[in-house]
């Protein structure tokens, strides 16, 4: 009886009951004969032959792989520490540069404020000078006009009186 004919390949009946289910346990007998001894000898020979040829090299490969993996992990850990140190140095240097830039920016602001104050002071001085000169020129022109008006006022008054009266006025 084969496994296929017992129903292991698809029939439902024998699958529910295994083929040795009806055999009592006390009736199972194991024969130790020459084939078992031959198999044990073949197994021992294979172990003796395959150990140096297959098992030891595979175990060496596994050990080497583990060693390399541990070495690479250690190298990666060192690289991470180095990267952390570099990042810390970079951040400190960046902070120092930002501080220096802030100091320079403040200096530039102070210098700009001084320069602005000087320019405004000069502009006020120039404006005051132009205003003063303008007032002086206007006062000079006003006084010249008044002097001229006073000189001509008598003549103009006589001319106006003559036109209004229609005759010559003595004066």
Cα–Cα distance for residue pair 122/116, rounded to 1 Å: 10
Q: Is 33 left (phi over 0), alpha (psi -120 to 50) or beta?
A: beta
* DSSP class of 4: T
Sign of CA dihedral 78, 81, 85, 91: positive
- pLDDT digits (tens), the chain, 171 positions: 444 444 444 444 445 555 555 655 556 677 778 888 899 999 999 999 999 999 999 999 999 999 999 989 999 999 999 999 999 999 999 999 999 999 999 999 999 999 999 999 999 999 999 999 999 999 999 999 888 888 888 888 888 888 888 888 776
């Amino acid at each position: 009886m084969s496994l296929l004919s017992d129903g292991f390949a698809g029939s439902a009946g024998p699958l529910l009951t295994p083929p040795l289910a009806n055999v009592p346990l006390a009736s199972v007998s194991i024969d130790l004969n020459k084939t078992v001894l031959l198999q044990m000898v073949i197994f021992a020979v294979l172990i003796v032959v395959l150990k140096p040829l297959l098992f030891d090299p595979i175990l060496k490969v596994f050990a080497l792989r583990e060693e390399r993996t541990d070495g690479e992990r250690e190298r990666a850990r060192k690289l991470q520490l180095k990267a952390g140190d570099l990042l810390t140095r970079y951040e400190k240097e960046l902070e120092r540069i930002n501080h220096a830039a802030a100091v320079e920016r403040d200096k530039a602001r102070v210098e700009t404020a001084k320069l602005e104050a000087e320019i405004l002071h000069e502009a006020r001085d120039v404006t005051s000078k132009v205003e003063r000169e303008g007032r002086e020129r206007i006062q000079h022109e006003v006084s010249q006009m008044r002097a001229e008006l006073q000189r001509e006022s008598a003549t103009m008054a006589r001319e106006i009186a003559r036109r209004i009266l229609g005759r010559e006025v003595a004066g």
